Structure 1
């Protein structure tokens, strides 16, 4: 025998002349002077327990006919569906649990109404602050009693600043829900913390600007998705005007987040019903397992919804402070770790890419010209709000022969930049009793070495108008590759310092005759086709790492370093092409950063053959030691979720020996 059930994704709101019912497949509008009240009374019983005959058995003829017409209309529109005897009835299952509702404003009122309509038999309600229409709230309760006299609503005083009393408020709950027109973050954070300790699922609906954020939802193996994780991710990738910024701290969050206007009835109803629909699934155990927890974003004007997955924020996870032995284990694990396959990386890193609450934003090509190089960009989040409100979020650019190469390069650079901003103070220790430090690997002997936190993470010292990662920050598909790239970056920095003060002319080399790998050879051919005069100078300095300067006409457009001259030439030619491409693309935003020009008199005459010698990590490290520098590789691993996807993020720092 088939029974009737209101679709799990259905929620409704009154209109001027009837009712509007929203589902994932669209909306249904029914008109009539009493149709809203009729459906509102029927909804708790459309939970898969009753047939139409059972629903109408005790009704007078007139009411029975009206009920049959309404149910038929809902079935015709596929809002009410038929279920078999053996199917799970999530609404009735959810009704057995105590639901605690806390919050204020119109969204709270509509959430109370939606919870009562969902069939929840026991509701505990705590109103916080001002702004709640108590008359509307009383009307919700009156209508609920008319529909189901067995529903129990208990009012409590919710003093969320007192976590002991808050624990009493949520005691025994199957689910705690916070719903408010105004994001009182301290209140939500307190509830999230109390519920985490008690092992009670917690979800929230909060208005922020022109949208509402609802969640977190999802059944993730081994973890309970935390609301503060989602909120921190939202702040980290949000507008620079969205937040109050302060120093790095796992306990710091922004203050109240205000929506400019109170939501209208329909918007508040949509938000509340979306929240309760997902809550019913959570209570009934019908939530499907997901790789990531999710938040739902609702546009308060168009009422469209979009789901956003997110990685847990590091501050929501345990973070023991490592000692020397831990550092040694980490270094050994990184050295011995398996090489990451680029294609596998591209698949796994999708977990980091999210337009609003991701570690990185979505990879985009905008309307960039894609010749001669493919160009992609990705926005980088500010995970612990080091940048301040006036510094724009960094944007990482990647280039390559193909779009896939460009996207991977942009994401790799984005993760490096993110790693230099993700500082967890719980991972820092004190040395000499005063200086905060992190552990790294000394490259000359492979032993752990303490590095001042402000040296490893210079963003802690303050940031100017824009942010770029330090010279030694790099990524690789294995530890050795990442360390080599970081070491070369530091040697390039030292060499450019020497170039600026040099008064001797540098020797131009014959860049046309150097044997290059396939990408390098392609870049060289494209540079020839561009028709611009390109001069390349050997500016290798005391670090002993091949370094070349690239001048187009009178302008120095790039410097590139590598462990061999062909590697430096390949990377420099790519920068030359990117500079050319940006100029013909109306000064596009992907133009490489300007570099200091070769000093006056720095351009020698008489082209010579490109040197053939190369070097390696050990030789460079020893040479730096003779110059008084100790090179230390510090893992950028303060975000465990990112480190699980790509462990090989590093910043190589130079410390006076």
Structure 2
């Protein structure tokens, strides 16, 4: 018969509607006018000595049913748990030496004795200099670890030393030291956690499980590769600073071994400053810190097929994933302050991509800033994040994923980061990247500078040209391909354009709202249709004869994006002060525009092929961790031949 026990460290607060319960796993709310009083009455018997039948025995039928129902709800919420009949932990006080650890484990709802035994039996090796080594080893033993050995940082343990968990403390600038321990952990199948001393700061990694690959929690090499500046030589550290850092390192080890780590900290790095302020940051694995397979056409086609077959990513799911990439210190991009721009009637979100190769190439780490506008904040925020991640992906070049003119890999799959940076600084003149010919489905090697224009220097194409992103592969390809019609004069029939107009009822909700606002303000733009070839709409939106937006693609989509941009321009002028109405009054002149025209990618590609040009799509996935979050970042280039 199973006994019932109220978890330790549970706090119950009565509320007007029932009870609010705080647990280590988070808050739980139960409704009912007498719930709080019932919990208070049942608590003394929920100590591991009684089953639900024994607790309700002798109660009136209605009260027994109420007690059974409430206990069931508490069990489902994880507030009450079952313990085996006769479990010593349920009915007796633990030994005094282990009372703190067992109480802590019991409060987390894990089998306390088994979890503590598992931690005790770990073979732990601490690799650090004397002061740190002694402090970490002593803290481990105080928590119950029985098998702890220490090694100086300059003399790591031999390969045949039994080890389950490696704890390594080293200077962040000593790259070879932590790389040596990373390799040892992989060879021995051991878990590992690191404390990296970066100037006056201490970086703490989570415990990396045995066999951690490139998609696991970030290893030290990934942290150091993503730092915007080179790590500093370790500075002298105060005793209290060391004590707090050691406590956090050992707590992470204890949580991993006993399965009581906080889920909210999973996969996050901890930065502990000399003021003891703690910051927890996401850090994605860096692509240069993991080997890659040699590029080949079959592997490329398989990757494209997987992208095509992936389900569309909803904005909500993308937003949840993008949190791991948005960080001022380590993230591929960061959000910029919203306070710098007016936020009415349109919401404006801004973000900045980080240059992933800045340190290796000796350039500014701050990449291009992007902007997105919408009538609601979540939509603007998601669009800005997608643009920033795609811009980042367009800056990340991995020479190991390139081939030379003969189709041979340009660099070995296990090349070191320093060697890869040397190749990049040389410009990769013979480098090619595989792309998919949208007309034939064939794999084509494309000169790398055509896709990654940062390598083209002064002749680089306009920023954003050909960049595609979206919830699905098809949407991303359409977006990237359509952008060429906004820049390439060979793809339009009329450079000056003919005036066109549209009725609000022909637009989607966003376009209609923009047009209505602009009309009320006397700011309806002059719109010209440039006769995009191969069935692609190309529009320019002008204010007082000055083009403020140029869009291409499907009719409704092109109108919506253009009107959004005009609305933003007017919004900025009005809120910026000194606003002047347009000299030319708003007019309804122009030929009615067919806004229901879609964007037939196949027809556009066939039209290009008929003129001797090829549309080629290249996935921007040289940083796999970012590509998995960004959802379909790609580049469409148009080449001759």
Q: What is the TM-score normalised by the length of structure 2?
A: 0.69
| SS of alignment partner, residue 258 of structure 1 | coil
Find out whether 1:216 has 2:241 as its counterpart.
no
Return the alpha-carbon distance in structure 1 between the equivalents of residues 512 and 94 of structure 2. Answer: 75
**Residue number in structure 1 paired with 2:84:** none
**Residue number in structure 1 paired with 2:622:** 638
Instruction: Give per-residue Cα distances to partners, 1:453-489, cap 9 Å, x unaligned.
Output: 222222344599x998541011122222111111111
Q: What is the TM-score normalised by the length of structure 1?
A: 0.68
**Residue number in structure 1 paired with 2:377:** 403
Return the alpha-carbon distance in structure 2 between the equivalents of residues 514 and 538 of structure 1. Answer: 19
Q: Structure 2: 5+ residue runs without aligned partners?
A: 1-8, 10-23, 26-88, 409-429, 578-586
**Residue number in structure 2 paired with 1:271:** 245
**Residue number in structure 1 paired with 2:517:** 526
Would the alpha carbon gap of residues 167 and 463 (structure 1) be closer, same or farther in structure 2, given more than 3 Å must change?
farther
Instruction: Give per-residue Cα distances to partners, 1:437-456, cap 9 Å, x unaligned.
Output: 22222112222222222222
Shift of 1:276: 1.5
Return the alpha-carbon distance in structure 2 between the equivalents of residues 196 and 117 of structure 1. Answer: 28
The question of whether the paired residues in 1 share the 8 Å contact of 2:189 and 2:211 is answered with no
Find out whether 1:537 has 2:528 as its counterpart.
yes
| SS of alignment partner, residue 571 of structure 1 | helix
Aligned length: 522
**Residue number in structure 2 paired with 1:374:** 347
Find out whether 1:472 has 2:463 as its counterpart.
no
Shift of 1:606: 11
**Residue number in structure 1 paired with 2:255:** 281
How do 1:440-455 residues align onto structure 2 when only pairs under 5 Å count?
A: 440-455=435-450
Return the alpha-carbon distance in structure 2 between the equivalents of residues 441 and 279 of structure 1. Answer: 47
Instruction: Give per-residue Cα distances to partners, 1:320-374, cap 9 Å, x unaligned.
Output: 2242222333333333433333333333444434454444435863464321211
Q: Which has the higher contact order (CA 8 A, sep 6+)?
A: 1
**Residue number in structure 1 paired with 2:635:** 651
Would the alpha carbon gap of residues 624 and 118 (structure 1) be closer, same or farther in structure 2, given more than 3 Å must change?
same
The question of whether the paired residues in 2 share the 8 Å contact of 1:292 and 1:311 is answered with no
Shift of 1:203: 1.2
Instruction: Give per-residue Cα distances to partners, 1:68-96, cap 9 Å, x unaligned.
Output: xxx9xx99xx9999999972376664343
The question of whether the paired residues in 2 share the 8 Å contact of 1:413 and 1:475 is answered with yes
* Residue in structure 2 matching 1:258, options 233, 245, 253: 233
**Residue number in structure 2 paired with 1:558:** 549
| SS of alignment partner, residue 516 of structure 2 | helix
Find out whether 1:617 has 2:607 as its counterpart.
no
| SS of alignment partner, residue 556 of structure 1 | strand
How do 1:345-424 residues align onto structure 2 when only pairs under 5 Å count?
A: 345-361=318-334, 365-366=338-339, 368-385=341-358, 388-424=362-398
**Residue number in structure 2 paired with 1:184:** 174
* Residue in structure 1 matching 2:434, options 426, 431, 439: 439
The question of whether the paired residues in 2 share the 8 Å contact of 1:635 and 1:651 is answered with yes
| SS of alignment partner, residue 217 of structure 1 | coil
Shift of 1:270: 0.7
**Residue number in structure 1 paired with 2:316:** 343
**Residue number in structure 1 paired with 2:400:** 426
**Residue number in structure 2 paired with 1:308:** 281
The question of whether the paired residues in 1 share the 8 Å contact of 2:307 and 2:632 is answered with yes
The question of whether the paired residues in 2 share the 8 Å contact of 1:234 and 1:356 is answered with no
Instruction: Give per-residue Cα distances to partners, 1:45-70, cap 9 Å, x unaligned.
Output: xxx9x9799669xxxxxxxxxxxxxx
Shift of 1:183: 3.5
The question of whether the paired residues in 1 share the 8 Å contact of 2:468 and 2:634 is answered with yes
Instruction: Give per-residue Cα distances to partners, 1:593-614, cap 9 Å, x unaligned.
Output: xxxxxxxxxxxx9942144384
The question of whether the paired residues in 2 share the 8 Å contact of 1:219 and 1:293 is answered with no
How do 1:165-176 residues align onto structure 2 when only pairs under 5 Å count?
A: 166=156, 168=158, 171-176=161-166
Would the alpha carbon gap of residues 220 and 651 (structure 1) be closer, same or farther in structure 2, given more than 3 Å must change?
farther
Would the alpha carbon gap of residues 86 and 407 (structure 1) be closer, same or farther in structure 2, given more than 3 Å must change?
closer
The question of whether the paired residues in 2 share the 8 Å contact of 1:483 and 1:650 is answered with yes
Return the alpha-carbon distance in structure 2 between the equivalents of residues 627 and 224 of structure 1. Answer: 44
The question of whether the paired residues in 2 share the 8 Å contact of 1:202 and 1:227 is answered with no
Return the alpha-carbon distance in structure 2 between the equivalents of residues 263 and 306 of structure 1. Answer: 18
How do 1:96-135 residues align onto structure 2 when only pairs under 5 Å count?
A: 96-104=121-129, 107=132, 110-128=135-153
The question of whether the paired residues in 2 share the 8 Å contact of 1:527 and 1:577 is answered with yes
The question of whether the paired residues in 2 share the 8 Å contact of 1:114 and 1:276 is answered with yes
Give me the CA root mean square deviation.
4.4
Would the alpha carbon gap of residues 390 and 642 (structure 1) be closer, same or farther in structure 2, given more than 3 Å must change?
closer
Shift of 1:228: 5.9
The question of whether the paired residues in 1 share the 8 Å contact of 2:390 and 2:633 is answered with yes
Would the alpha carbon gap of residues 203 and 411 (structure 1) be closer, same or farther in structure 2, given more than 3 Å must change?
same
How do 1:23-34 residues align onto structure 2 when only pairs under 5 Å count?
A: none
**Residue number in structure 2 paired with 1:568:** 558
Would the alpha carbon gap of residues 111 and 85 (structure 1) be closer, same or farther in structure 2, given more than 3 Å must change?
closer
Return the alpha-carbon distance in structure 2 between the equivalents of residues 453 and 98 of structure 1. Answer: 49
Instruction: Give per-residue Cα distances to partners, 1:219-268, cap 9 Å, x unaligned.
Output: 699759767646535643x44xx13xxxxxxxxxxxx5335x42211112
Shift of 1:168: 1.1
